[in-house]
Amino acid sequence: MKHAISEPALTGAQRAMLAGRHGDGAALAMRVVVRLARALGADRLITVDSAHVDGCLFHGQVGIDLVERLISGGARVAVPTTLNVGSLDLLHPGVVRGDAGERADARRLMDGYVALGAEPTWTCAPYQLTERPAYGRHVAWAESNAIVFANSVLGARTDRYGDFADICAAVTGFAPRVGLHLDENRAGQDLFDCSGVPAGTFAADVAWAALGHLVGRRSGTRVPVLTGLPGDADEDRLKALGAAAASAGGVALFHAVGLTPEAPDTATAFRGRAAERRFEVTAADLRAACGELTTAPDGRLDAISVGTPHFSAAEFRALAALLAGGPPFDAGIEFWISTSRAVLAEAERVGDAAICRRAGARILVDTCTYIAPVLRASARVVMTNSAKWAWYAPTNLGIDVVFASLAECVLSARAGRVVRDPALWAAS
Strand 174-176, strand 190-193: pairing: unpaired
12-183 against 295-415: fold identical: yes
pLDDT category at 199 given cuts 50, 70, 90 is confident
Instruction: Convert the pLDDT of each residue in 316-328 to its tens digit.
Output: 999 999 999 899 9
Q: Residue 198 above 80 pLDDT?
A: yes
Calculate the dihedral angle through the C-alpha atoms of 97, 315, 324, 360, rounding to the nearest 10 degrees: -10
What pLDDT, on a 0 to 100 scale, did the predictor assign at position 190? 98
Instruction: Convert the pLDDT of each residue in 253-307 to its tens digit.
Output: 999 999 999 999 999 999 999 999 999 999 999 999 999 999 998 889 999 999 9
What average pLDDT does the segment 54-75 reach? 97
CA distances from 59 to 115, 227, 244 (A): 19, 40, 23
pLDDT category at 3 given cuts 50, 70, 90 is low
pLDDT category at 113 given cuts 50, 70, 90 is very high
- Beta bridge partner(s), residue 161: 142
Q: Where are the domains of the chain?
A: 12-183, 187-291, 295-415
What pLDDT, on a 0 to 100 scale, did the predictor assign at position 6? 78
Question: CB-hemisphere CA count at 13 Å for 298?
Answer: 10
Q: Say whether pTM exceeds 0.85.
A: yes
Q: Residue 72 above 70 pLDDT?
A: yes
Q: How far is 149 from 254, CA to CA, in rounded Å?
A: 9
Q: Residue 218 above 60 pLDDT?
A: yes
Q: Which residue from 375, 382, 420 is spatially nearest to 400, judged by alpha carbons? A: 382
CA torsion through residues 125, 343, 380, 298, sign: negative
Q: Residue 308 above 90 pLDDT?
A: yes
Indicate the class that CATH gives domain 295-415. Answer: alpha beta
Distant-in-sequence, close-in-space partners of 300: CB < 8 Å, separation ≥ 6: 380, 381, 417, 418
* CATH number assigned to the domain with residue range 12-183, chosen from the 4 options 3.40.630.30, 3.30.499.10, 3.10.150.10, 3.40.50.10140: 3.30.499.10
Axis-axis angle for helices 235-248, 205-219 (nearest 10): 30
The edge-to-edge listing of strands for the beta sheet with 190-193 is 255-256, 224-227, 190-193, 277-280
Instruction: Convert the pLDDT of each residue in 127-144 to its tens digit.
Output: 999 999 999 999 999 999
Instruction: Convert the pLDDT of each residue in 333-390 to its tens digit.
Output: 999 999 999 999 999 999 999 999 999 999 999 999 999 999 999 999 999 999 999 9
What average pLDDT does the segment 53-82 reach? 97
pLDDT category at 1 given cuts 50, 70, 90 is very low
Q: Residue 202 above 60 pLDDT?
A: yes
Q: How far is 202 from 131, CA to CA, in rounded Å?
A: 29
Round the average pLDDT of the chain to a whole number and report it. 96
What pLDDT, on a 0 to 100 scale, did the predictor assign at position 421? 87
8 Å CB contact between 46 and 159 = no
Instruction: Convert the pLDDT of each residue in 225-247 to its tens digit.
Output: 999 999 989 999 999 999 999 99
What pLDDT, on a 0 to 100 scale, did the predictor assign at position 297? 87
Spacing of C-alpha 64 from chain mean position: 23
Q: Residue 2 above 70 pLDDT?
A: no
Q: How far is 296 from 299, CA to CA, in rounded Å?
A: 8
Q: Which residue from 16, 26, 72, 54 is spatially nearest to 173, judged by alpha carbons? A: 26
pLDDT category at 4 given cuts 50, 70, 90 is low
